[in-house]
Amino acid sequence: MKYSIFSLARAALSGHKNWQRTWRDATPKDRYDVVIIGGGGHGLATAWFLASEYGIKNVAVLEKGWIGSGNAGRNTTIIRSNYGLPGNTGFYELSMKLWERMEQDLNYNAMVSQRGVINLYHSDAQRDAYARRGNTMRINGIDAELLDLAAVRKMIPFLNFDNARFPVQGGLLQRRGGTARHDAVVWGYAHAASELGVDIIQNCEVTGFVRDANGKVTGVETSRGKIGAGKVGMAVAGSSSRVAAMAGLRLPIESHVLQAFVSEAIKPLIPGVMTFGAGHFYVSQSDKGGLVFGGDIDGYNSYAQRGNMPVMEDVCEGGMALMPMIGRVRLLRQWGGIMDMSMDGSPIIDKTPVDGLYLNAGWCYGGFKATPGSGFVFAHLLARDESHEEAARFRLDRFRTGAMIDEKGQGAQPNLH
C-alpha cells in the first residue's frame, strides 16, 4: 500500500471504507536471522533499518501487548538535538536528521513539526550554561540561538516575565526541534518494515532465552512458542532489567514512573515547545489544541504505569510559575509510563556479555526523540557487530571504566535525563 494524494482522494471518494491494514499482523516462524524484543518505536525502527539499510529482512519484532502500547504511546512527543556532551551531541543530531526525512523514507505521515524548542533561562549562571551548550551545538553544525529577554517577549508574550523569584531572562532556541505524532511514528515504522518483509508479532511475550552449550543465545521462549534467532536485540526500555534478568544480567538501571498531562483543547497559544528552567516543567500544544506537559519522575521505583499526587502538584506549580494563565485550563488526562533510568542519564546501545544478545536500553525520559537514531545505530550494531560511530560511547561498561556521559554533571544516580 503506497500512500499519496491519489490514495487519499480515492479513499475519501469511497467514504473511507476501503483503507487496508497498514502492516501485517504476522504469526511467528520457527527462526529468524534477527529477533527484536519490543514493538515500540525503537524496536520497529531497528527492524526497518535492518531491512532497508543493512539488507537483513528475515527479522521479527516481538511485542508482548500491541505495538506502541508502552512508552512510544505515552511520551510528550518532543524532538530536539540540543545536547552538550560528546556522545550525545552527534547522536541526537543524527536522529534529528532522520526525523527530517522520516516521512519520505517511510511513506507515512508522522506529523513531524519543527515548531521550535526553547529552554528558558532565569539567571546569569543559567544563561552562561545555555550559551555554552548553544555554542557546542553550533560548532557541531546544529542550529542554536541564544535569545535575550526582548526576543523571548516577542515570541512568547504571555509568560510571567516579572516573577520575583524566577524572572525570565531569555532562552536557548533550537528552531529545528519540535514535535511528532508519536503513534504515527510507530505505525509508520511498522508499515515500512512490514512492506520489506519484517514480521511484527503482537501478544507475544518473551519468557526466557534459549542458549546453546557455550551460553550463546540462539532464540527466545515466548508465550507463542519457541522462536530461533541468529541474534537477539532487546529494545524494551522500562522493562530492560526484567528481560535482561532472564539472561542472568544485572543492569545499571532502575525503573521509575514518569507522568504526563494534557489539558482540554484551547485555541492556538504556545508556538513550540518551551521549558521552565527554574523548576522542571515543559509544555507544548498538540494539533488538537490540548496543552501537553510534564516534569520530573515520581522518584521511586515502579512498574505500575501510574504516578502519585506530589509530582502532579509539583508539575502544576511549575506551570503556574511560568504562565499563571494555565491555572484557568482544566486538566483532561494524566498518565504514567515506566522509564529505564540509567545511572548517568544517557542510554546504552551495546553488545552484552552474553553472546548473541544485544542491548538498547537506559533511555531515561528522552527516548522518543531518539527513535530514528536509536533504530539506525542499533541496526548497525546488530548487522555489523560493531557500534556505529555516533553511538560508540553508549557502552554498557562505561560505568565500570568511568567514561560516563553525565549531561547534568550530577554523578551516579538514577534520576537524571
Beta carbon of residue 298, minimum distance to other proteins (angstroms, whole number): 9
Short-list 345, 356, 361, CA closest to 396: 361
Residue 8 or 304 with smaller CB distance to other proteins: 304
CB of 101 to other proteins, least distance (A): 36
Least distance (Å) from other proteins to the CB of residue 206?
14
Q: Which residues bind other proteins (CB under 8 A)?
A: 239, 241-242, 250-255, 299-304, 306, 308-310, 313, 343, 399-400, 412, 414
Can you list the alpha helix ranges (DSSP code H) found in 385-416? Answer: 398-401
In the complex, the smallest distance separating the C-beta of residue 241 from other proteins, rounded to whole angstroms, is 4
Q: Is 106 exposed, middle or buried (0-12, 13-18, 19+ CB in 10 A)?
A: buried
Residue closer to other proteins, measured from CB, 79 or 341? 341
| Cα R_g (the chain), whole angstroms | 21
Looking at the Cβ atoms of 344 and 407, the one nearer to other proteins is 344
Task: State which residue, 109 or 301, has the beta carbon closest to other proteins.
Answer: 301
* Nearest to other proteins of 47, 311 (CB atom): 311
C-beta of 323: minimal distance to other proteins in Å? 24
Q: Quote the least distance from Cβ 182 to other proteins, whole Å.
A: 25
Nearest approach, Cβ of residue 360 and other proteins (Å): 17
Q: Measured from the CB of residue 338, what is the shortest distance to other proteins in angstroms?
A: 10
| In contact, 358 and 386? CB cutoff 8 Å | no
Q: Measured from the CB atom, is 306 or 408 closer to other proteins?
A: 306
Task: Compute how many other C-beta atoms are within 10 angstroms of the C-beta atom of residue 207.
Answer: 12
- Decide if 338 contacts 362 (C-beta within 8 A): no
Cα(318)–Cα(322) distance, integer angstroms: 6
Judged by beta carbon, residue 313 or residue 386, the one nearer other proteins is: 313
Residues in the chain: 417
Amino acid at 276: F
Taking the C-alpha atoms of 350, 412, 311 and 283 in order, what is their torsion angle to the nearest 10 degrees?
Answer: -60
In b/e form, how buried is each residue of 168-197, taking b as 16+ CB within 10 angstroms?
A: bbbbbbbebbbbbbbebbbbbbbbbbbbee
d(CA 257, CA 126): 28
In the bound state with other proteins, the residue whose beta carbon lies nearer, of 107 and 301, is: 301
- Nearest distance in Å: CB 394, other proteins: 15
289 backbone φψ class: left, alpha, beta (φ>0; ψ -120 to 50):
left
DSSP 412: S
Whether residue 68 contacts residue 41, with contact meaning beta carbons closer than 8 Å, is answered with: yes
> Toward other proteins, which CB reaches closer, 19 or 303?
303
